[in-house]
């Protein structure tokens, strides 16, 4: 008889999104994303971080202060990195698993890339206009959004 306690597709892909988030150097919010084809094949992964060539140690990670002394104008979001990390082919009809609901800039990139479903883990910025704009665009563009339904499963990986 086959094993019964294998990971569901949702657990597997959201797990990969969370594992990817662990690569982030952001001291406040670590986000991971995993893009998957209609056939449940992994197309790309990403996490939030500074652009290639911008040294993590020389870039600001603050949230407040002079705009140019904060991380905000510089950091690449997990979803955008996942979209850009895709090596070949299209993302048409793909799904994106992301640990935090996409911002409006990533929502535009998600829509334009052809991704048709967003499965998100957390929505801690739901009360911001930024996320409201994302939801409006997803709705108009026919991109399905779905809150990941947490299971009680804990995965421990020895590294």
* 48: contact with ligand LCLUPRNS by CB under 6 A: yes
79 is catalytic: yes
Distance CA 106, CA 56 (A): 21
| Positions in the binding site for Zn ion (CB under 5 A) | 77, 103, 106
What is the number of other CB atoms lying within 10 angstroms of the CB of residue 34? 26
Indicate the Cα dihedral angle 115, 119, 122, 127, nearest 10°. Answer: 60
* 83: contact with ligand LCLUPRNS by CB under 6 A: no
* 28: contact with ligand LCLUPRNS by CB under 6 A: yes
Distance CA 148, CA 89 (A): 27
* 85: contact with ligand LCLUPRNS by CB under 6 A: no
From the candidates 79, 105, 117, 158, give the one annotated as an active-site residue: 79
Nearest-approach distance from CB 102 to ligand LCLUPRNS, in angstroms: 5
Q: ∠ CA(108), CA(9), CA(81), 5° rounding? A: 30
Looking at 7-15, 24-32, 50-58, 138-146, which segment touches ligand LCLUPRNS (CB under 6 A)?
24-32
Distance CA 79, CA 66 (A): 26
* 153: contact with ligand LCLUPRNS by CB under 6 A: no
Q: Which residues of 68-106 are buried (b: 16+ CB within 10 A; e: fewer)?
A: eeebeeebbbbbbbbbeebeeeebeebbbbbbbbbbbeb
* 35: contact with ligand LCLUPRNS by CB under 6 A: no
* 78: contact with ligand LCLUPRNS by CB under 6 A: yes
Q: Which residues bind ligand LCLUPRNS (CB under 6 A)?
A: 26, 28-29, 31, 48, 63, 71, 75, 77-79, 100-103, 106
């Amino acid at each position: 008889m086959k094993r019964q306690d294998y990971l569901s597709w949702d657990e597997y892909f959201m797990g990969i999104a969370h594992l990817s988030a662990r690569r982030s150097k952001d001291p406040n919010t670590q986000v991971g994303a995993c893009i998957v084809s209609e056939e449940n094949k992994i197309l790309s992964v990403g996490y939030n971080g500074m652009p290639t060539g911008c040294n993590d140690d020389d870039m600001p990670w603050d949230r407040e202060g002079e705009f140019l002394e904060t991380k905000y104008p510089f950091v690449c979001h997990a979803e955008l990195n996942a979209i850009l990390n895709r090596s070949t082919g299209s993302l048409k009809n793909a799904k994106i698993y992301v640990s935090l609901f996409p911002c409006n800039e990533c929502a535009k990139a998600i829509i334009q890339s052809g991704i048709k479903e967003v499965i998100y883990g957390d929505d801690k910025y739901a009360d911001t206009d930024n996320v409201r704009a994302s939801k409006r665009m997803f709705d108009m563009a026919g991109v399905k959004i779905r809150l990941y339904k947490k299971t009680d499963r804990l995965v421990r990986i020895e590294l």
